[in-house]
Structure 1
Amino acid sequence: MSADTILNAALTLGDINGWERLTLTQIARYLKVSLADIHQHVKQKDDLVDAWFDRADAHMLSRFPQQGVSLNRTQRLNLAMQSWLDFLARHHKLTADMLLYKLEPGHIHLQAAGVLRISRTVQWFREAADLKATHMARIGQEIALSSLFATIFLHWLKDSTKHQARTRERLQQALTQGKRIRLWT
């Protein structure tokens, strides 16, 4: 058994019953293992959310560098962010449930970890887009990109259009505005 096996089981069961109702005990029963076996790979249920987002990061990064394809930084950022969201789309509702779970008032520790999670993904977006800003320009870029990412992700969570078309359009508009003011350097 591996952490990937546990996450796959969690995604399967979560799609059926929702994230709120999912327990590590249910996952253990589903996999026919003990809770101690689960504990070797997962210390708490929220670790599965991080693992899900880590998979999205890995998927997005597998798209870079693309050999023989010349994209400007804005296009690379669009590809990075969109491929990240597209990966999560296979469990769109469950991903929304995961985020709501993190945002519950009693989960302050999960919310703090969520800020670090956003920062980690944003850094990978910067790498994928080959952004080279330094010092104050980098700080401004990171703040802008973190805000954009959080806004787009929240919009994506509520977007019920086919292939989240409204989110794609909104992302493209925001990235184009950033390009106009030379934000993506």
Structure 2
Amino acid sequence: MASAPLSRDSILDAALAVAADRHWEAVRLFDVAEQLGVTLADLQPLLAEKEQLVDWLWQRADETLLADCRGKSFQTLDFPKQFEACVLAWLGALQPARRTFRQMLEVRMEPGHLHIQIPTLFQVSRSVQWMRELCGRDATFLRRASEETALTAVFVSTLLVWLGDDSHGSQRSRDWCRDRLAQAIALGRWWPRRPPSTGQ
């Protein structure tokens, strides 16, 4: 039996430790159980399947985002710097496991994995929504939808650059995020500013 209570974080950390010297596709739950010194029966009440580990890692990034992007120093930033800080905080949470996270996404994007690809799209949307909330964005209707689309494009494109970014301090990803965000804000001048008519 385990020497300490199992938790989402302890299981995830064990899985990442196993994945450190192999491809994520080759990680098996019995490897994770062995790393923890427990049985598969011990894991099952907390972990339904291996794919849940990817969701937990994503959630860890969301939690880091919410913990880091707050307080007076964050609130006094203008919106572009706030959103950039949000994206970088999210990516920073994954930096120690970047190679494994890239492999996780590669596996998810393989043909025939719609059952996990569609939930990933919802995860992207939720992360961007948290970033908008942290930045105090209050647009409505068409302007909100346009802004969400643009900011999602900034987030996803920065994530893709970051996955292969070996520059010092991920500077290339930082520059990419900043430039794409500036473009999105410039395009935002054309976003609808009034809610649609109700016809009444």
Which residue matches 2:198? none
The 1:154–1:68 alpha-carbon spacing in structure 2 relative to 1, beyond 3 Å, is: closer
Q: 1:115 aligns with which of 104, 121, 125?
A: 121
Greater C-alpha radius of gyration? 2
Kindly state the Cα deviation for residue 67 of structure 1 after the two structures are TM-superposed. Answer: 2.1
List, as ranges, runs of 4+ consecutive aligned residues in structure 1 with deviation greater than 3 Å: 181-185
The higher relative CO (CA closer than 8 Å, separation ≥ 6) is in 1
Which residue matches 1:24? 29
Alpha-carbon deviations, 1:18-40, whole Å to 9, x = none? 21110111101111212122111
User: In the alignment, is residue 129 of structure 1 matched against residue 135 of structure 2?
Assistant: yes
Unaligned runs of 5+ in 2: 1-5, 194-200
Q: Output the CA distance in 1 between the equivalents of 2:82 and 2:35.
A: 40
Q: Output the CA distance in 2 between the equivalents of 1:33 and 1:50.
A: 22
Partner SS, residue 17 of structure 1: coil
> Contact 2:33/2:40 (CA < 8 Å) preserved in 1?
yes
> Contact 1:64/1:128 (CA < 8 Å) preserved in 2?
yes
Kindly state the Cα deviation for residue 8 of structure 1 after the two structures are TM-superposed. Answer: 0.6
The one-letter code of the counterpart of 1:38 is L
Unaligned runs of 5+ in 1: none
Alpha-carbon deviations, 1:35-89, whole Å to 9, x = none? 1221111111111111111111111111232225511111110000011111111
Q: 2:11 aligns with which of 3, 6, 14?
A: 6
User: In the alignment, is residue 33 of structure 1 matched against residue 38 of structure 2?
Assistant: yes
> Contact 1:74/1:129 (CA < 8 Å) preserved in 2?
no
- State the Cα RMSD in Å: 1.7
Q: Output the CA distance in 2 between the equivalents of 1:136 and 1:36.
A: 49
What percentage of aligned pairs have identical amino acids?
Answer: 32
User: In the alignment, is residue 73 of structure 1 matched against residue 79 of structure 2?
Assistant: yes
Provide the aligned length of Structure 1 versus Structure 2. 185
